Amino acid sequence: MLTDRPAGPLSRSTAVEDEVLGRLRDLCEVGGLPDLAATIDDLVGFVRDDLAAVEEGLATLSTGDTLVGEAGTSLVHLGGKRLRPLCVVLASRVGSAQASAVRDIAVAAELVHNATLLHDDVIDHADQRRGRPTARLELGNAASIFAGDYLLIEALHRVQRAAVPGVMEGLLGTIAEMIRAESLQLENRGSLDASEDLYFEVARGKSAALFSWALGAGALSGGASPELCRALRAYGESIGVAFQLIDDLLDLVGHHSNTGKTLFSDLSEGKITYPLIVVLDREPALIETIRAIAAEAASSWGGDGVAVPGSNGDGSGNGHPGGANGAGRERERVLEAMVRHNVEATCRDLAASYIDKGIEALAEVPDSPARSALTVVARASVLRER
């Protein structure tokens, strides 16, 4: 059990953690996993106070009365899946941890994630994030970049305050790994012949590394053995790759109201993701259609990331020959090819195999509510539609 838990209910944030856990329950039910869905009710009582404490920590994030602070906290307060903090909390329950340390590490995990989103939105010229205009669109690129830096510093302060041996070193290594992956992706931006090896190298660095750190840091905060820490980090890496696979799939076949993002945004940003690698492998003639979508999106941006006059700046093609209708037809061709070649099933099956690998890693973890909850999180992540 965690010790040093704040007295009294944390009523301000109960709606948030109930939403997180309720979403997991719904995913399991829709995905035909009623047994896992039933365990969510037990999970609610198991981690509700911990998630409430994390939400309180995020809610009280100081803006410092600055534009940059406001930009950073605004994104954090929009919510999100909060899966990384949940992973920290669950991993901490494998051992016995101090609540304040777990809260600080869990908050840090969410702040690092949001910092990368603020930076990515500048790199990718993104206009939408969580269904709202991005900070870079409302306040400018510089504000978005510095807001991301602000959240990173806040994350490091919290990990330092937690004072759990090995956690700070792990986070610094994780941030370095994430930057390296972003660099690899940037170097290959616009290339339509990206390999599977490159895709998964980037996915492990960009997404899986933070999940892996969150699980390992949570385990360290609970005093878990080195063997259990390694098992939980391996679990985190596997679900992180699966999460990225589904994220990239939903960029093509999701719905804006669910994802909060413009569809085909990855391709518009010059990124060839796994679903597109698969469809090109099965229908190579589609390369010209995909090249046209990418080129039309790229032409709507100036070298400094500012939309060219006459363009709507979202890669839809308005203001260019062919306009939105031409871009829409090209996207339809890609989607039709994905249906013909069962690309969605291929991606979800591969994500499921990574989930299986992650759950296998949990064999090292003693049977407990924490292990059951981690299994639910893993299974639900591959079913998600947002």
| DSSP H/E element including 351 | helix 343-361
Predicted local confidence at residue 46, as pLDDT? 72
Alpha-carbon distance of 72 to 111, in angstroms, equals 9
Residue 285 or 300, more confident? 285
Q: Which pLDDT band holds residue 4 (cuts at 50, 70, 90)?
A: very low
Query: Residue 300: pLDDT above 60?
Result: no
Radius of gyration of the chain (CA): 21
Query: Residue 36: pLDDT above 50?
Result: yes
Q: Which pLDDT band holds residue 31 (cuts at 50, 70, 90)?
A: low
Predicted local confidence at residue 356, as pLDDT? 96
What are the start-end ranges of the H helices in 260-316? 265-268, 274-282, 287-298
For the ranges 28-42, 92-106, 247-261, the maximum mean pLDDT occurs at 92-106
Alpha-carbon distance of 59 to 77, in angstroms, equals 7
Name the token pair of 208.
Answer: 């899986």
Q: What is the mean pLDDT of residues 164-182?
A: 96
Query: Residue 238: pLDDT above 70?
Result: yes
pTM of the prediction? 0.84
Name the token pair of 331.
Answer: 């996207």
- Residue 337's nearest CA partner among 292, 285, 271 is 285
Residue 163: HSE in the Cβ half-sphere, 13 Å Cα cutoff: 3
| DSSP H/E element including 377 | helix 369-381
Name the token pair of 285.
Answer: 């003639």
- Residue 222's nearest CA partner among 142, 165, 149, 289 is 165
Q: What is the mean pLDDT of residues 25-53?
A: 68
List C-alpha distances in Å: 16 to 7, 30, 78, 106, 151.
Answer: 19, 21, 11, 15, 20
Q: What is the mean pLDDT of residues 78-93?
A: 88
CA-angle at 259, arms to 85 and 208, nearest 5°: 40
Terminal CA-CA length for the chain: 32
Q: Which pLDDT band holds residue 265 (cuts at 50, 70, 90)?
A: confident
Q: Which residues contact 109 (CB under 8 A, 6 or more apart)?
A: 84, 85, 87, 88, 155, 210, 213, 214, 217
Query: Residue 124: pLDDT above 70?
Result: yes
Residue 138 or 110, more confident? 110
Name the token pair of 315.
Answer: 């890669």
Q: Which residues contact 129 (CB under 8 A, 6 or more apart)?
A: 75, 78, 117, 121, 135, 260, 261
Q: Which pLDDT band holds residue 257 (cuts at 50, 70, 90)?
A: very low
Query: Residue 34: pLDDT above 80?
Result: no
Q: Which residues contact 380 (CB under 8 A, 6 or more apart)?
A: 23, 24, 27, 28, 31, 33, 36
Q: What is the mean pLDDT of residues 173-198?
A: 90
Q: What is the mean pLDDT of residues 227-252?
A: 95
3-state helix, strand, coil split of the chain in percent (to 5) is: 70, 0, 25
- Percentage of the residues of the chain whose pLDDT score is greater than 70: 77
What phi and psi, each to the nearest 5 degrees, are found at residue 365?
-90, 130
What are the start-end ranges of the H helices in 78-203? 83-92, 99-123, 135-139, 141-162, 167-187, 196-203
